[in-house]
């Protein structure tokens, strides 16, 4: 009679579970099962709700070994439903407050959850779902086919994804993270043990240096603190540009920064007086200096952004100098200097021509005098006397 009552009670309990998913009602039960001490361990209510308890807190696991079953284990406040072929649901493999559903799932960590087929959640408060996934780290998550989250608070999602270090994140098929706080996203993306804090967004790429990295398909980088952009992103590498902007500026893989200067992207053209540019350059202070963030031995040369902006009014900030602006200033200054040079050259050529004409006239005069041989001075004196006599005679005739 007692066995019959138990079977009836279990049947009603199953129906209640399917109908209400563990709904607990504060009302008088229509069916109640008690233990040997006459303590209620199962109550079923008329709306299908039921309560299963462990009045003594010393009960053993209801069933062990292989088989199909739905099992509530009050001693460990754990729940199991599905099928196992071994000891996955034996007491030794049941964590307090754990849940395991599916086929051959194991939730041995406290408050752990295992779902799917052959998934294992062994870390405290861990979660494993899929096929043969393993959440072994404390507070870890593993989802997919043979995904493994072995590090503390690690996450592995994808086909054979692995997050093997603390705070690691692996997303994608065969993505693998072996570094502290590392992130790998994409097919076969991975970070090495030395790449602490590294990030890889790519396909089939491994980052091995420390620091952040973002890399394109089929590449490998071992330098520290590299930051690269992958193919087919809004910032691309497949054209040979590490960085490309909407304005047309880009950084090449050789390290050359190129600014956009497309006429179709410009407006409001205005002429520039070259002499005014030279005047401003003459007055602006140009010194050598060091950035505060660098060693004092690292020197640079140039004006301050404040002085440059005050002198030319270019750019949108008084704290930075655009390479486009300073290059434009230098180019206009060079043009003004070239104009000065050309003017001076023309004036010099005119002076040289004038000097040549004067020298030629002097040479001609010297040639006339040379015709008198060594009597040149006497001849000049004689000519002067003849001229003076002619003038005196003319005046006498007029008188």
pLDDT in tens, 81-116: 999 999 999 999 999 999 999 999 999 999 999 999
Q: Which pLDDT score is estimated for 137?
A: 96
Q: Which pLDDT score is estimated for 118?
A: 97
> How does pLDDT run across 355-386, given as a tens digit for each residue?
999 888 888 877 765 665 555 566 666 666 76
Spatial contact of 32 and 43, defined as CB atoms under 8 Å apart: yes
Q: What angle do CA 144, 149, 155 make, to 5 degrees?
A: 80
Return the residue matching tokens 């043969």: 132
Domain boundaries, the chain: 61-206, 274-334, 335-389
Return the residue matching tokens 């006239």: 361
pTM of the model: 0.49
Instruction: Output 138 or 11, whichever has higher pLDDT.
Output: 138
pLDDT class of 222 with cuts at 50, 70, 90:
very low
Q: Considering the domain 61-206 in this protein, what is its CATH number?
A: 2.150.10.10
Parallel/antiparallel/unpaired status of strands 287-289 and 300-302: antiparallel
Spatial contact of 90 and 78, defined as CB atoms under 8 Å apart: no
- At residue 56, does pLDDT exceed 90? no
> How does pLDDT run across 253-263, given as a tens digit for each residue?
777 888 888 89
> How does pLDDT run across 146-193, given as a tens digit for each residue?
999 999 999 999 999 999 999 999 999 999 998 888 888 888 888 765
Q: Which pLDDT score is estimated for 244?
A: 74
Rg of the chain on CA atoms, in Å: 48
* Structure tokens belonging to residue 240: 């040979």
- At residue 48, does pLDDT exceed 70? no
Percent of the chain with pLDDT over 90: 48
Percent of the chain with pLDDT over 70: 68
């Amino acid at each position: 009679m007692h066995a019959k009552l138990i079977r009836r009670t279990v049947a009603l309990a199953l129906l209640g579970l399917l109908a209400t998913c563990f709904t607990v009602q504060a009302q008088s039960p229509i069916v109640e099962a008690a233990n040997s001490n006459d303590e209620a361990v199962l109550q079923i209510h008329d709306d299908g709700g039921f309560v299963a308890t462990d009045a003594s807190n010393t009960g053993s696991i209801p069933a062990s070994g292989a088989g199909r079953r739905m099992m509530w284990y009050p001693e460990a406040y754990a729940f199991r439903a599905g099928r196992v072929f071994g000891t996955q649901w034996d007491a030794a493999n049941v964590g307090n407050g754990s849940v395991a559903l599916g086929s051959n799932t194991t939730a041995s960590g406290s408050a752990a959850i295992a779902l799917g087929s052959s998934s294992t959640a062994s870390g405290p408060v861990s979660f494993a779902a899929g096929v043969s996934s393993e959440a072994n780290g404390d507070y870890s998550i593993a989802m997919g086919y043979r995904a493994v989250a072995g590090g503390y608070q690690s996450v592995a999602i994808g086909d054979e994804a692995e997050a093997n270090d603390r705070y690691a994140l692996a997303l994608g098929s065969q993505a693998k993270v072996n570094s502290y706080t590392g992130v790998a996203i994409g097919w076969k993306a991975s970070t090495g043990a030395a790449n602490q804090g590294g990030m890889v967004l790519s396909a089939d790429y491994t980052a091995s240096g420390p620091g952040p990295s973002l890399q394109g398909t089929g590449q490998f980088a071992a330098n520290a603190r590299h930051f690269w952009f992958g193919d087919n992103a809004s910032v691309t590498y497949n054209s040979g540009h590490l960085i490309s902007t909407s304005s047309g500026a880009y950084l090449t893989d050789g390290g050359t920064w190129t600014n956009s200067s497309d006429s179709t992207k410009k407006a409001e053209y205005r002429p520039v007086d070259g002499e005014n540019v030279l005047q401003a350059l003459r007055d602006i202070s140009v010194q050598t200096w060091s950035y505060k963030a660098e060693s004092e031995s690292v020197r640079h040369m140039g004006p301050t952004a404040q002085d440059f902006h005050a002198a030319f009014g270019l750019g949108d900030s008084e704290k930075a100098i655009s390479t486009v602006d300073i290059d434009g200033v230098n180019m206009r200054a060079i043009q003004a200097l070239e104009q000065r040079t050309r003017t001076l050259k023309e004036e010099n050529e005119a002076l040289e021509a004038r000097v040549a004409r004067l020298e030629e006239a002097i040479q001609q005069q010297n040639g006339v005098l040379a015709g008198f041989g060594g009597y040149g001075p006497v001849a000049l004196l004689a000519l002067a006397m003849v001229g003076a006599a002619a003038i005196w005679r003319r005046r006498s005739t007029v008188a």
